[in-house]
């Protein structure tokens, strides 16, 4: 209705006010509060952040790592802004790269919470639950099975050659979308290189995508500047959170079958000692679980106590 139509609106003003007063008193205060909440989950990695291309940016030993932490923090702040532009009232961020201690926590707004370090039962999605309305992936990269992704890997570039869920090769975006899907939460936006964004959209379904750099090779890209990437991310997160009702949670058929192919022989051999694990070839094991929570814990276990079973 156009705003010019004030007169007809006034005719209904008294009955409408009475109706609103009635309904307000009929709904418990907690429910009104819950209805007004809009919780957004942000999972952040570093390989897909604008400017990052090699270990020079990806770990504490790299000459440009301290700068890369600033870029990653900037992209997370842009995502927080975009979520707020779309009405988000609560935001949980998980620092999901390397040691899990990359994001500069003192740069985040006081009402945002940050998940740091490892291990975590839900890995890059720790803290998500069914009260969240939307999930956002920042700084993501393509799967280890993708031939055209900057720093393409799945969970561990040193150890894993493939991770399959129900027979389909997964990037981290797929595993994490399935964890969100377990809780009925849709992924509404992803940022990363062009391969990561296209791969997630093809696998998971329609979502907003911010391509902050273009693949040239495993260790090269044509990147946006941090400033340009952050502006793009803010607008895409806003659009994604606003369109969340049109994006479906990505739910895995249960029970879920997980296949992990290791780059080396030994972990497959040793893990197959466990009666819950089946060895399907020299480098591959299979584990079946009732849901994505058990799958997530299993992957975290297998990739976290690597010191003892690798190579
Ligand atoms: Zn990473």
From first to last of its 311 residues, the chain has per-residue pLDDT tens of 333 333 333 334 444 444 444 444 555 666 556 668 999 999 999 999 999 999 999 999 999 999 999 999 999 999 999 999 999 999 999 999 999 999 999 999 999 999 999 999 999 999 999 999 999 999 999 999 899 999 999 998 889 999 999 999 999 999 999 999 999 999 999 999 999 999 999 999 999 999 999 999 999 999 999 999 999 999 999 999 999 999 999 999 999 999 999 999 999 999 999 999 999 999 999 999 999 999 999 999 998 875 444 54
What is the 196 CA–ligand 1 centroid distance (Å)?
Answer: 12
Centre of ligand 1 to C-alpha 249, Å, is 24
* Ligand 1: centre distance to CA 79 (Å): 18
∠ CA 193-195-199, nearest 5°, is: 125
pLDDT attached to residue 15: 47
| C-alpha of residue 13 to centroid of ligand 1, in Å | 56
Ligand 1 centroid, distance to 51 Cα (angstroms): 14
CA–centroid distance, 304 to ligand 1, in Å, is 14
Longest dimension (CA), the chain: 79
Q: How far is the CA of 59 from the centre of ligand 1 (A)?
A: 10
- Residue 279 CA, ligand 1 centroid: distance in Å: 28
Is the separation of the CB atoms in 51 and 226 below 8 Å? Answer: yes
Rounded to the nearest whole angstrom, what is the distance from the C-alpha of residue 205 to the centroid of ligand 1? 22
84 Cα–ligand 1 center, Å: 25
How far does residue 98's CA lie from ligand 1's centre (Å)? 6
User: How far apart (Å, rounded) are the C-alpha atoms in residues 122 and 273?
Assistant: 25
Task: State the pLDDT at residue 12.
Answer: 40
Answer whether the bond into residue 311 is a cis peptide, omega within 30°.
yes
Q: Are 40 and 136 in contact (CB under 8 A)?
A: yes
* Ligand 1 geometric centre to CA of 100 (Å): 9
Report how far ligand 1's centroid is from the alpha carbon of 97 (Å).
Answer: 4
Q: Quote the CA–CA distance of 120 and 104 in Å, as a whole number.
A: 20
User: Ligand 1 centre and the CA of 46: distance in Å?
Assistant: 5
Q: Which of 148, 232, 238 is nearest to 193 (CA)?
A: 148
Please tell me the distance between residue 72's alpha carbon and the centre of ligand 1 in angstroms.
Answer: 11
pTM over 0.75: yes
User: Could you tell me the distance, in angstroms and rounded to a whole number, from the CA of residue 31 to the centre of ligand 1?
Assistant: 38
**E strands along the chain, which residues?**
39-44, 90-95, 112-115, 132-140, 160-165, 168-169, 187-193, 208-217, 220-223, 256-262, 278-281, 284-289
Cα 201 to ligand 1 centroid, rounded to whole Å: 19
Q: What's the gap in Å between 172 CA and the centre of ligand 1? A: 10
Å from CA of 228 to ligand 1 middle: 21
Q: Give the pLDDT confidence score for residue 157 in this predicted structure.
A: 86
pLDDT of residue 17: 47
Q: Which residue has the tokens 């976290």?
A: 304
Query: Comparing C-alpha atoms, which of 144, 166, 165 is closest to residue 154?
Result: 144
For residue 154, report the distance from its CA to the centre of ligand 1, in Å.
Answer: 9
Question: How many angstroms separate the CA atoms of 220 and 210, rounded?
Answer: 18
């Amino acid at each position: 209705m156009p705003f010019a139509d004030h007169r007809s609106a006034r005719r209904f003003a008294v009955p409408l006010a009475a109706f609103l007063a009635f309904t307000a008193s009929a709904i418990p205060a907690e429910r009104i509060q819950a209805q007004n909440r809009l919780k957004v989950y942000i999972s952040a990695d570093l390989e897909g952040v604008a400017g990052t291309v090699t270990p020079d940016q990806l770990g504490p030993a790299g000459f440009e790592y301290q700068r890369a932490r600033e870029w990653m923090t900037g992209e997370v702040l842009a995502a927080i802004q975009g979520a707020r532009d779309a009405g988000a009232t609560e935001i949980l961020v998980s620092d999901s790269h390397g040691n899990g201690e990359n994001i500069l926590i003192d740069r985040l707004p006081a009402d945002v919470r940050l998940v740091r370090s490892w291990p975590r039962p839900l890995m890059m999605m720790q803290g998500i639950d069914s009260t969240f309305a939307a999930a956002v992936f920042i700084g993501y990269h393509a799967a280890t099975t993708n031939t055209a992704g900057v720093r393409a890997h799945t969970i561990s570039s040193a150890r894993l050659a493939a991770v399959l869920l129900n027979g389909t090769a997964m990037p981290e975006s797929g595993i994490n979308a399935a964890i969100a899907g377990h809780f009925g939460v849709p992924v509404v936006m992803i940022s990363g290189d062009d391969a990561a964004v296209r791969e997630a959209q093809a696998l998971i379904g329609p979502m907003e995508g911010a391509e902050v750099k273009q693949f040239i090779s495993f260790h090269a890209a044509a990147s946006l500047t941090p400033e340009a990437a952050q502006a793009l991310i803010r607008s895409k997160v806003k659009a994604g959170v606003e369109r969340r009702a049109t994006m479906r949670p990505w739910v895995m058929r249960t029970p879920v079958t997980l296949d992990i192919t290791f780059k080396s022989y030994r972990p497959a051999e040793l893990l197959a000692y466990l009666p819950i694990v089946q060895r399907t070839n020299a480098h591959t094991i299979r584990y079946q679980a009732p849901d994505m929570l058990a799958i997530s814990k299993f992957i975290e276990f297998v990739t976290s106590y690597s010191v003892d079973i690798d190579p």
